[in-house]
A and B are shown apart, each in its own frame.
Chain A
Amino acid sequence: MLSPEIEAHLPDVQKPSRYTGGEIGQIIKDKSQIAVRFAFCFPDIYDVGMSHLGMKILYSLMNQRENYWCERVFAPWPDMEEIMRQEHILLYALESGDEIRNFDFIGFTLQYEMSYTNILNMLDLAGVPVLQKDRGEQIFPLVVGGGPCACNPEPIADFFDLFILGEGEEVNLELMDLYYQMHQKHATRSEFLKAAAQIQGIYVPSLYEIEYHPDGTVKKITAHDHAPEKITKRVITDMNHVYYPEQVVIPFIEPIHDRVSVEVLRGCIRGCRFCQAGFLYRPFREKSAETVCKQGIALCENSGYDELSLSSLSTSDHSQIEQILDQLLEYTEQAHVNLSLPSLRIDNFSKSVLEKVTTIRKSGLTFAPEAGTQRLRDVINKNVTEEEVMRTCKIAFEGGYTTVKLYFMMGLPTETDEDIIGIADLAQKVVNLFYDMPDRAKGKLQVSISTATFVPKPFTPFEFEPQTEKAEILRKQQILKKAIKSKKIKASMHISDVSQMEAVLARGDRRICSVIYDAWKSGCRLDSWEEFFDASRWYAAFEKNHLDPAFYANRTRNYEELMPWDHIDYLVSKKFLIRENQKAHAAQTTPPCRESCAGCGANQCLGRPCF
């Protein structure tokens, strides 16, 4: 219910539907019957947050409980923020229009590091103290966070009451149940937090003390008040019986991903050493073909969407992918639905799968070889050979494709100039392949290469590695530019100070909290938006706190160093990460989990081998 005071300002902002609610699929409840209210906050604007699958799952899941009400909250665009601050409008939830400061939970999903300042800004706009220590003993609102970046929550520990580690389908409800009981008994905030710390997957940072060595590395992490020494993430073991929504909120404006998604599997069998998601979401678990099809069809029918995406880290690794495609295509063709597979892999991209995809839609193909030479691909364990790239491109060209996008990273461990030149060579070979084909498709070929700066992340075998410095990346970009000879190859190379900040925030310790706080105070927000990111403000915040970004981003850690996140257990053992790091430096690959188990440790939660 949008209040008239807010509505009066909507003619003055861009895309006012961001702020109204009222979409098909939103869940409205009778406030007087509600015991626990949860404000699900996405720390970015509506258009971005409404594309996020995890929010859709947890929103529907919490609302399944009759007496719990979960509502959506997004960061306002600066035009709306200005009005809110001027007119003293506090941040509200879209469904009820109520100020979230009176909610029981204010939950943030932590999807990328560069959204951290938005969290502070949203709390401030909500009228909630930004620092946890300033929130007093009243039990609500509890500021909680979850999602991939919760694997190293230290840089934002000062702003949160607690973090939820791993998959939220079970633990979110357990947490709300505990709150419901304790709230009725008039428990204080600290009483609740001590009790919540006993739930597996709940990390209460205020119960842990961090000590540092004089050189700035972490010396000791001590748990207090019977909080567990290691906090272990939560995992859903049965993907066929876990809750999945068959109705979602359908935005009026066009979000970034304007489609319905059915999740087909969690985890990844690949073990690419740079990929944090590939380790965080282990172990590998599939939904059955039957479940995928049933959920996908229901989502299309209930939403009216004409695009269905099969979502996962690597959809073609599903053991029944052909069966899923056959069954779904039978439905989608007659129902005028496009089927999209956003994460196909080169190596098992079979001709029959391609044919199935192309019967629906013919657009560009996107591959991510990630590195230009076989040696470097072996280092990062991207198990893709040049031959496979060529074979897939050949199939694609035969199928009528004329645009190919190739994604690469720069600044990977052990990378040399030869590896950079290899990027241009690989693209050139794709160009040559096209023109060597007598029966090539009409139309202009375009091979786009895009390079991003590598950011080492926690819980990957590269968590020990330094990030390459900006000057060196710039030099490598020049090498790549010179190495590109064909006009058919278009290169876009991103460089910005964002990568270094991302590296700092990803592997930072608790001292980074004050840097984030000062950066936000000086005006940083929407840092993932190029037009708003301001490196100078960030560097000033480091200086003010006598901290050096290079210490976090560009320093090599030895295997013995205590990482700021070492009290957090994502089931993947540090021994395994060290083993993988050593293999990387020896350019040795590790086969996909389905072929042989590399012993990462994630299957301990299943009590059986993954395959």
Chain B
Amino acid sequence: MKDYRIIFQKKGIVKYISHLDLNRCMIRAIRRSGLPAWYTEGFHPHLYLMFPLALSLGTESICEVMDFRLTEELPPEEISEKLNSALPEGLHVISVREPHMQAADITAAEYLVILSAPEIPDLKSVLENFTNQPEILIQKKTKKGFREIDIKSMIIIKNIDIHDADLYLTVILPAGNQENLNINILTDAVQNYADKPILIKSACRTKIFSENYQDFF
């Protein structure tokens, strides 16, 4: 019995696979791959699979994590090769390793968002003005309706760049069990702030961090 951690990317139309559906999709891919997957014992055995951090629907990623267990030890190359041959286009194993940290160690994640706004001449300064507001209030949906919260302290802007009239925003947001901010909440807030339409061309998770912004692995 051996635990493995898979780092995989989720790019293209597979970004529309929800977290629950991804779980089913991965189970079937592992079964098709012929890898000797480990099943839980007990009355209803099921294939053991764990995703330490969910990804919101519509967001791409180059750093998704999935843990699972094989009944025997296999070379990482063989595992990624077999899995990749069974995965749908867009889902692709980048590396296979042994898990070191646990889901609870996850603190933050980095995203690259590409925005475009043909009607806004200086998108960069709109974005800077957005981040320089004294507070950034959003409506958060809770069980009891909507609650207003300030997300300003949660946002770390790492970089803003312009390429071919598109704005590339690299941002770090809290992630994991303690505090979590969905990238869509930020992009919605940006869109609401501007008086002209802003198109989110893509959003992609690029890194997952543990404490002190060390890479989660």
Chain A residues whose CB sits within 8 angstroms of the CB of B47 once the complex forms: 306, 336
**Given A17-B16, A336-B39, A23:B88 Cβ within 8 A:** yes
Q: Is B14 in the interface zone, CB < 8 Å from A? A: yes
**CB interface residues, B 28-56, toward A, < 8 Å:** 28-32, 39, 45-47
User: Within the complex, which residue of A16, A21, A24 is in contact with B57, where a contact is CB–CB below 8 Å?
Assistant: A16
**Mask of A249-260 contacts with B, CB within 8 angstroms, 1/0:** 010111000100
Are the CB atoms of B32 and A306 closer together than 8 Å? no
**Cβ–Cβ < 8 Å partners of A7 in chain B:** 13
B13 near A253 with CB under 8 A, answer no
Interface: A51 (CB within 8 A): no
Asked if B21 is an interface residue, CB under 8 A from chain A, the answer is yes
Nearest chain A CB to B66's CB is how many angstroms away?
A: 15
* A336–B58 CA distance with the chains assembled, in angstroms: 32
Q: Nearest chain A CB to B178's CB is how many angstroms away?
A: 27
- Least distance between A465 CB and chain B CB atoms (Å): 45
Residues of B within 8 A of A214 (CB): none
- Bound complex: CA A559 to CA B128 (Å): 82
Task: Answer whether residue A22 sits at the interface, using C-beta atoms and an 8 A cutoff.
Answer: yes
- Residue in B14, B21, B31, B39 whose CB lies within 8 Å of A22: B14
In the complex, how many angstroms separate the beta carbon of B17 from the nearest chain A beta carbon?
5
Q: Is the CB of B16 within 8 A of A20?
A: yes
Q: Which residues of A contact B32 (CB under 8 A)?
A: 301-304
Residues of A within 8 A of B31 (CB): 304-306, 336
CB of A498 closer than 8 Å to a CB of B: no
Instruction: Determine the main DSSP class of B at the interface with A.
Output: helix
Assess whether B143 is interfacial by the CB under 8 Å rule.
no
Contact B27 A10 (CB under 8 A): no
Nearest residue, chain A, Cβ from B12 = A22
List the A side residues contacting B13 at CB < 8 Å: 2, 7, 17, 20-22
Q: Is the CB of B58 within 8 A of A11?
A: yes
List, in ascending order, chain A residues with CB within 8 A of B29's CB: 24, 304
B25 nearest CB neighbor, chain A only: A252
Bitwise interface map of B from 87 to 119 toward A, beta carbon under 8 Å scored 1, else 0? 011100000000000000000000000000000
Q: Are A336 and B17 in contact (CB under 8 A)?
A: no
Considering only CB atoms and an 8 Å cut-off, how many residues of chain A contact the other chain? 25
B187 to chain A, nearest CB (A): 10
Q: Does B163 contact A (CB under 8 A)?
A: no
* Shortest Cβ distance from residue A201 to the other chain B in the assembled complex, whole angstroms: 37
Residue of B nearest to A10 (CB): B16
For A306, the chain B residues whose CB sits under 8 A away are 27-28, 31, 47
Q: Give Cα distance in the complex from A336 to B27, angstroms.
A: 12
CB distance from B77 to the nearest CB of A (A): 22
- Closest residue of chain A to B88 (Cβ to Cβ) is A24
Question: A312-338, CB under 8 A of B: which get 1 and which 0?
Answer: 000000000000000000000000100
A1-34 vs B, Cβ < 8 Å mask (1 yes, 0 no): 0100001101100011100111110000000000
Q: How far is the CB of B212 from chain A (nearest CB, A)?
A: 33
Q: Using an 8 Å CB-CB cutoff, how does the interface string of B134-156 with A read, 1 for contact, 0 for none?
A: 00000000000000000000000
What separation, in Å, do the CA atoms of A81 and B39 have in the docked complex? Answer: 42
Residues on B with C-beta less than 8 A from A252 are 14, 16-17, 21, 25, 88
CB of B86 within 8 A of chain A?
Answer: yes
CA distance A254 to B32 in the complex (A): 18
- What chain A residues lie within 8 Å of B12 (beta carbons)? 22
CB-CB under 8 A from A302, the residues of chain B are: 32
Residues facing B in A347-403 (CB within 8 A) are none
Q: Quote the shortest CB–CB distance from A66 to chain B (angstroms).
A: 22
- Determine the chain A residues whose CB is within 8 A of the CB of B46 once the complex forms: 336
A11-B58, A254-B21, A303-B32 are known contacts. Are A16 and B16 too (CB-CB below 8 A)? yes
Residues A10 and B58 in contact, CB atoms below 8 Å apart: yes
Please tell me if the beta carbons of B86 and A304 are within 8 angstroms of each other in the complex: yes
For A233-271 the 0/1 string (1 means CB < 8 A from B) is 000000000000000001011100010000000000000
A-B contact pairs, 14 of them (CB 8 A): A15-B18, A16-B58, A20-B13, A20-B16, A22-B12, A22-B14, A23-B88, A252-B16, A252-B21, A301-B32, A304-B30, A306-B31, A336-B31, A336-B46
Question: Ordered nearest first, which 6 A-B pairs have the shortest CB separation?
Answer: A304-B28, A304-B31, A304-B32, A16-B16, A20-B13, A22-B13
Chain A interface residues (CB < 8 Å from chain B): 2, 7-8, 10-11, 15-17, 20-24, 250, 252-254, 258, 301-306, 336
**Knowing that A252-B16, A252-B25, A303-B32 are A-B contacts, what are 7 other residue pairs whose CB atoms are under 8 Å apart, sorted by A's residue number?**
A8-B199, A16-B57, A20-B13, A22-B12, A22-B89, A258-B24, A303-B28
